[in-house]
Amino acid sequence: CVHPSMGDASLWADLPPQATQLWNGLRGGLIAPAADMELAGLSPDAYVALWAERGADPALIGGRPYYAHELAGRYAFSTEDHEAARDDLRQRVRFLVEDAPALASAINPEAPIRSHDLSDGYRQSTGGAAQGLTPLANCGMNLLRAPVMAVDFGPGRGRLILSQLLTAGRLAEGHGEPGLYGLRPDPAAQQVVLNMMARALAE
């Protein structure tokens, strides 16, 4: 299930924290996809904020080679001995699927691991338009995934809300599914979407 971000709980306005747990567990399945969104055009500060939210050490980004290894929305980080970090990551994802077999249809522990050179990405972020990045919700193991983010472009240039939350079938009457666990209109999902709009328009 999703939880309020440590730094911004605006999506939970007029909602108890338990509301999104019900959305996930009793209203018909997963609430966010297994993979993180890919963001481009970030300024150096926003780039560091993005990867710090995913578990990277901000002090190591931009210096010597520092790599992020990604598999099924999980991350491992290394400055050397990259293969050991990748092996550990794959083993963690294998354990996750073994512990919760229902995830096997959504997560493949044997999929290729993607590696990102964070120091190189930091250097390439010079001149990026997005000046600020604020996670608005967290989910996943150790709450390291941010499926909703506010992207600020600076004074007078507006704000963009990016969301991966799966809301199909949950927002309007007449689009639900039958059965105990079928997707159906859900007041928690509706309120979260309204709160996203309010956050985008906030001063």
pLDDT averaged over consecutive 10-residue blocks of the chain (203 residues)?
86 82 53 80 92 92 92 91 94 90 83 95 91 87 83 87 89 79 81 94 81
Supply the DSSP symbol for 168: T
Report the C-alpha gap between 150 and 190 in whole angstroms: 18
Instruction: Note whether 65 and 119 are within 8 A (CB).
Output: yes
End-to-end Cα separation, the chain, in angstroms: 29
Q: Which residue has the tokens 């939880």?
A: 3
Q: What pLDDT score does 75 carry? A: 92
Q: What pLDDT score does 194 carry? A: 95
Q: What pLDDT score does 23 carry? A: 59
**Tokens matching residue 105:** 């249809």
Domain locations in the chain?
A: 1-39+130-203, 43-48+59-127
Q: What pLDDT score does 195 carry? A: 95
Q: What pLDDT score does 169 carry? A: 83
3-class secondary structure, 152: strand
Q: What pLDDT score does 71 carry? A: 92
Q: What pLDDT score does 29 carry? A: 53
